[in-house]
Amino acid sequence: MKFSVTIDRDEDGVWVVECPAIPGCVSQGKTREEALKNIQDAIRLCLEVRAEQGLPLTVETRQVEVTA
């Protein structure tokens, strides 16, 4: 499965990665590469927990256009 993730740096320079399709699925790393590896593990674990709890595995995400 492929998931879109967001990547950002916090005020301490830590890379923070989130999977918007899975509520609460967030990870981080000292480097961008470490953060991306960590989110893969987090996604697997989040999907496992959601399945065990009988929750939908993902929520719908869409893109919307906003004019500035």
DSSP codes of every residue in the chain: -----EEEE-TTS-EEEE-TTSTT-EEEESSHHHHHHHHHHHHHHHHHHHHHTT--S-----------
Task: Please give the tally of structural domains in the chain.
Answer: 1
* Banded pLDDT at 14 (limits 50, 70, 90): very high
Residue 63 reports pLDDT greater than 90:
no
Report yes or no on 58 lying in a domain: no
Report yes or no on 36 lying in a domain: yes
Report yes or no on 56 lying in a domain: no
| CA distance to 10, 20, 25, 37, 38, per residue, from 45 (Å) | 23, 15, 9, 13, 11
What pLDDT is stored for residue 62 in this prediction?
A: 85
Report yes or no on 63 lying in a domain: no
Report yes or no on 16 lying in a domain: yes
State the residue range of the domain holding 29. Answer: 6-51
Report yes or no on 59 lying in a domain: no
Prediction pTM value: 0.86
* Banded pLDDT at 61 (limits 50, 70, 90): confident
Report yes or no on 60 lying in a domain: no
Residues 6 or more apart whose CB falls under 8 angstroms from that of 13 comprise: none
